[in-house]
Amino acid sequence: MPSPFEYALLRVVPRVERGEFVNAGVVLYCQEKRFLKAAIDLDPGRLRALAPRLDPEAVRAHLEAAHRVCAGGPGAGPIGLLPPVQRFGWLVAPRSTIVQPGPVHTGLVEDPQEALDHLLKTMVSPPE
């Protein structure tokens, strides 16, 4: 039986004042399936097109923090000790930093991991 889920894309916004961004990841939360996970795919070429001087590895380190927050525990700092629903809320809260969440979207899912993989492929990764 399908379960409701929520997701948001993670965007890299090199110059907030310009409003340009590159989708670089996705966070998916499904309470019924006890699933909170992030998937990252930062395309250095796309990033370079918007911000030639921005270090992709520094950006990747910020994106990878989403993995730690999703996994929870002390390795993710104080946020990692919160329940999954609150960690998801923290991850998708509006920010004015280089890595920003997009709007939260909802849907129904049988397999959250499959949905996460599909979202990464269709919404984040460069076309094949």
β-strands 99-101, 3-12 pairing: antiparallel
Q: From CA 29, how far away is CA 3, in angstroms rounded?
A: 11
pLDDT recorded at residue 13:
95
pLDDT recorded at residue 120:
98
Average of per-residue pLDDT across 55-70? 94
pLDDT recorded at residue 102:
96
Predicted TM-score of the model (pTM): 0.94
pLDDT grade for 87, boundaries at 50, 70 and 90 = very high
Q: From CA 19, how far away is CA 23, in angstroms rounded?
A: 13
Assess whether pLDDT exceeds 90 at residue 36.
Answer: yes
Structural domain tally of the chain? Answer: 1
Average of per-residue pLDDT across 76-98? 94
pLDDT recorded at residue 17:
86
Query: Could you list the residue range(s) of the whole structural domain that residue 66 is in?
Result: 3-124
